[in-house]
């Protein structure tokens, strides 16, 4: 059972466009991580958010953790072909040592 | 600084065989987690080890086992391989102490194909 739902599953956009991907759950998480994964490689950690309502910016990427800590979003401004990849969100809970991953959003940025 | 390393990178086995996958964590990290990622899915948690002790186990059969060594490296063993075990096996390391937000740093993975 996937406790984290990511949407959309697939996204194909032109270079320069903006986009937002979503990560939603009915459960509360104490932390939420976003990863980017390229084919045949391991996920690379982009950011960790831990406080409800928190917003973090990483160059053209903006991450937000929902007030209730059940959802998160990733916004990319002026997407570039190098942003292409699988974006995964993963939730952690206090007292549990595992991360629960969503299925990911596969992003293609066309030059 | 070296990141998480895994070996081998690729492996082909036949049904019924067993396999051992290896992982070395980032220097200073005491916790290693194993995940299975099948095509089109996110990683699924298998085990976490901290200071050589199993600290968590996901919903995987007893054919899956793991251990952590004094140098914090780890092995994942899978017995009686099934076709459905074909996947990318990911190792992740983390500091692992209490109070951490469970930030995990992944290796490149081992691609296992079971024929």
pLDDT along chain A (111 residues), means of 10: 86 97 93 92 93 94 95 97 96 82 96 95
Tally Cβ neighbours within 10 Å of residue B52: 12
Q: What is the pLDDT of residue B56?
A: 87
d(CA A72, CA A46): 14
Comparing alpha-carbon positions, the chain B residue that sits nearest to A29 is: B101
Q: What is the pLDDT of residue B96?
A: 73
Distance from CA of A77 to the nearest CA of B (A): 25
pLDDT band, very low/low/confident/very high, at B100 (cuts 50, 70, 90): low
Q: What is the mean pLDDT of chain B?
A: 93
Q: What is the pLDDT of residue B101?
A: 63
Question: What are the backbone dihedrals phi and psi of residue A82, each rounded to the nearest 5 degrees, phi first?
Answer: -70, -10
Per-residue DSSP letter, A82: G
Q: What is the pLDDT of residue B2?
A: 81
d(CA A83, CA A94): 31
Show the tokens assigned to A8: 């959309």
Average pLDDT over residues B18-46: 95
Select, from the ranges A93-102, B91-100, B105-114, the one with the highest average predicted confidence (pLDDT). Answer: B105-114
Please give the span between the terminal C-alpha atoms of chain A, in angstroms, as a whole number: 36
Task: Show which of residues 38-97 on chain A sit within 8 Å of chain B, judged by CB atoms.
Answer: 40-45, 48, 50, 88, 90, 92, 96-97
Cα–Cα distances in Å, from A70 out to A22, A66, B94? 11, 6, 23
Show the tokens assigned to B104: 């995990």
Number of alpha helices (DSSP H) and beta strands (DSSP E) in chain A = 0, 11
Q: Is B52 helix (H, G, I), strand (E, B) or coil?
A: coil
Closest CA to A43 of A107, A79, A90: A90
Comparing alpha-carbon positions, the chain A residue that sits nearest to B87 is: A40
Q: Which is it for strands B105-106 and B87-94: parallel, antiparallel or unpaired?
A: antiparallel
Q: What is the pLDDT of residue A14?
A: 97
Average pLDDT over residues B17-21: 98
What digits encode the pLDDT tens for the residues B44-83?
999 999 988 998 899 999 999 999 999 999 999 999 999 9
Comparing alpha-carbon positions, the chain A residue that sits nearest to B50 is: A97
pLDDT band, very low/low/confident/very high, at B90 (cuts 50, 70, 90): very high
Q: What is the pLDDT of residue B97?
A: 66
- pLDDT at residue B99 greater than cutoff 60: no
Q: Which residues contact B60 (CB under 8 A, 6 or more apart)?
A: B36, B46
Residue entry with tokens 């081992």: B110
Question: What are the backbone dihedrals phi and psi of residue B5, each rounded to the nearest 5 degrees, phi first?
Answer: -115, 145
Contacts of A95 in chain B (CB under 8 A): none
pLDDT band, very low/low/confident/very high, at B40 (cuts 50, 70, 90): confident
């Amino acid at each position: 059972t996937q406790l984290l739902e990511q949407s959309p599953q697939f996204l194909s956009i032109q270079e320069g466009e903006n986009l937002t991907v979503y990560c939603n759950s009915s459960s509360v998480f104490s932390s939420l991580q976003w990863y980017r994964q390229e084919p045949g490689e391991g996920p690379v950690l982009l950011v960790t958010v831990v406080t409800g309502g928190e917003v973090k910016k990483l160059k053209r990427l903006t991450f937000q953790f929902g007030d209730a800590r059940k959802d998160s979003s990733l916004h990319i401004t002026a997407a570039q072909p190098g942003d292409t990849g699988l974006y995964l969100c993963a939730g952690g809970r206090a007292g549990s040592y595992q991360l629960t991953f969503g299925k990911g959003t596969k992003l293609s940025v066309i030059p | 600084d070296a990141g998480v390393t895994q070996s081998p990178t690729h492996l082909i086995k036949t049904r019924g065989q067993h396999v051992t996958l290896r992982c070395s964590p980032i220097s200073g990290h005491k916790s290693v987690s194993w995940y299975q990622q099948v095509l089109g899915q996110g990683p699924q948690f298998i085990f976490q080890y901290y200071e050589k002790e199993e600290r968590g186990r996901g919903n995987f059969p007893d054919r899956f086992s793991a251990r952590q060594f004094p140098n914090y490296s780890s092995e994942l063993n899978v017995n009686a391989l099934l076709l459905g075990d074909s996947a990318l096996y990911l190792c992740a390391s983390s500091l692992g102490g209490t109070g951490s937000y469970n930030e995990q740093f992944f290796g490149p993975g081992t691609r296992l194909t079971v024929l």
